[in-house]
Amino acid sequence: MVHITKAMTYSVSFEVKVKEEGFGWNGTDVLVMAKIGKTGKYKFKVNNLSPGQNIVIPSEPLAIPVVGPSDLHFGLYEVWSGKWKGGLEIIKAVVQPLPL
């Protein structure tokens, strides 16, 4: 969660890497999700991961408009496949204003 004070549109992204010995990620959808406030409606983008690459997901901005001071809740999710997975490194999460 990040507290936003300035009204504008923000993007949410993650830089991640699936290590060479990573497993369970091929063919699995990973979601970058964000919402404003605890009761807001999630916006999301679906991504696929491949071993051995540092990538930024989503590849296109996940734009979240903020109209006033708010809490921005965001995360990286994959809990629906039921597959055991390993070797995902989250390098950084980025929340930044989008250019006007």
Percentage of the chain lying above the pLDDT 70 cut? 100
pTM higher than the cut 0.85:
yes
pLDDT score, position 99: 87
> Regarding the domain delimited by 2-97, which CATH topology (the fold level of the hierarchy) does it fall under?
Jelly Rolls (2.60.120)
Q: How confident is the model at residue 97 (pLDDT cuts 50, 70, 90)?
A: very high
Question: What is the widest separation between alpha-carbon atoms in the chain?
Answer: 44
Predicted pLDDT of residue 56: 94
Residue predicted with more confidence, 79 or 73: 73
Evaluate whether 1 touches 33 at the Cβ level (below 8 Å). no
Instruction: Provide the token pair at 24.
Output: 């369970």
DSSP, residue by residue, 55-91:
EEEEEEEEEEEE-SSEEEEEEEE--SS----EEEEEE
